Amino acid sequence: MKTALRTVEHLNALLESIAGLIGNLQGQQTSVQAQLAMTKHITNMDVHLAAYYRARTTDKLSEALIAESIAKIQAARMEDWPK
C-alpha cells in the first residue's frame, strides 16, 4: 500500500508539472484528492494492524493468566487435604 502511495505521489508530481504548464487548477485539485484518499486508506490499514496485534497479544496473555489461575485454584483446594 505504501508503494502505491509513492506511485501516486510521483504521478501527482507529474500532474502538477503538467498542470503548472497548462495552468490547470482542476488537475492539481484532482491529484491532491487522490493523494489524500490514499493517505486515508494507509492510515486505516495502520489502525487495523495495530488493533490486530493488540488483540493477538491480549489473547496470548489470557491463555497464560487462565493457566496460572487454574493452578492457584487447584493449590488452594489441596491445602485442606491431608498429605
> What are the boundaries of each domain within the chain?
2-78
d(CA 71, CA 51): 30
d(CA 41, CA 45): 6
Instruction: Please give the share of the chain, as a percent, with pLDDT higher than 70.
Output: 89
Mean pLDDT of 69-78: 91
* pTM summary value: 0.50
Whether residue 2 has pLDDT greater than 80: no
Higher pLDDT, 54 or 22: 54
Three-state DSSP state, 68? helix
Please report which confidence band the pLDDT of residue 44 belongs to, taking 50, 70 and 90 as the band edges. Answer: very high
Q: Which of 16, 42, 11, 39 is nearest to 29 (CA)?
A: 16
